[in-house]
Amino acid sequence: MNSSSAAVSTLESLKDKLPDSAQIARLIEQCKLLTFSEKVKVLIDVIHKAPDKVIVFTKFRASHTAIAAALEKHGIRYSSLHGGLTRHEKEKSIKEFQNTSKALVSTDVGSEGRNLQFCNHIINFDLPWNPMKIEQRIGRISRIGQEKEVHVTNLSAKDTIEDHILYLLDAKINMFELVIGEIDVILGRLDEETDFETLIMDAWTKSPDIKQFESEIAQLGEDLLAAKQKYATLKNTEDKIFGDQFNTTTAEKAATEDTEDEHRDS
């Protein structure tokens, strides 16, 4: 879990669904005693050091609220973007971010169909288990019209599931160096019937201990690497056959998808 506030929110939703409600209640009280997570401290430091604007993505509204409070406490001007805002409020927030704010604190509503290429740095405060959602976030700034090098900062606590996901996506297949759209093809070659999130969940829930879980993650990493190598082989073959014509078609498809994103958001 990414912040004590998000943990409290999740635990409260589970309290009446699990048999040991007393234990859940004790965990909630312990979480409420944690007022400022180390992850938020690191986030503040990264934002202070960033030379330009940054977008901070978080999955949980509770984390969103905690991050906003921390930014305000440290005098960092920010704008908010989440599903609770009206369309007019969202547009106002984005304009404010473009003109005056240092940071945009956004739930994944900000990764859907918006052009934010006036910014070139995103921070994943939490990491979605679905790599396509990560790519959606990156796609808001890494798109046609971006004139600067794109920077992606991922925050994760050691030995968490997020940490293992980063190992798989970054260390094994260098996801953050791939072209937008390639990760979808690679995952499709990994397992056509089971999505990545389910593979991670199965490894976690079906492993009797952490050693077995790490073994499952290691095997998944090898499978991912093999899927990437198969994709690279196919791509090299296509490049030799189609050459510039194939590359042009791919670029035109990407441009069309950008336009469709804009229409969906309007």
E strand segments, the chain? 54-57, 78-81, 103-106, 121-124, 151-154
Q: CA-based diameter of the chain, in Å?
A: 65
Please check whether residue 59 is in contact with residue 107, taking contact to mean a CB–CB distance below 8 angstroms: yes
Strand partners, 57: 106, 124
pLDDT for position 254: 47
Query: 3-class DSSP state for residue 36?
Result: coil
**For the range 132-139, what are the long-range contacts, defined as Cβ-Cβ under 8 Å and sequence gap of 24 or more?**
132/183, 132/184, 132/187, 133/108, 134/169, 134/175, 135/175, 135/180, 135/181, 135/183, 135/184, 136/108, 136/111, 136/112, 137/55, 137/57, 137/108, 137/110, 137/111, 138/176, 138/180, 139/111, 139/180
Q: What is the mean pLDDT of each run of 10 residues along the chain (266 residues)?
A: 55 58 65 65 95 92 88 95 91 95 91 82 91 89 84 88 89 85 86 85 88 93 91 82 55 44 41
**Structural tokens at position 116:** 């934010």
pLDDT for position 248: 40
> Inter-axis angle of helices 210-242 and 182-190, to 10 degrees?
120
User: Which residues have CB under 8 Å from 129's CB, separation 6+?
Assistant: 161, 165, 196, 197, 200, 201
Q: Which domains does the chain have, with CATH numbers?
A: 1-35 (no CATH), 37-155 (3.40.50.300), 187-265 (no CATH)
Please check whether residue 194 is in contact with residue 227, taking contact to mean a CB–CB distance below 8 angstroms: no
pLDDT for position 14: 57
| Cα 20 to Cα 33: distance, rounded to the nearest angstrom | 21
Find, among 114, 127, 120, the residue nearest to 59 by Cα.
127
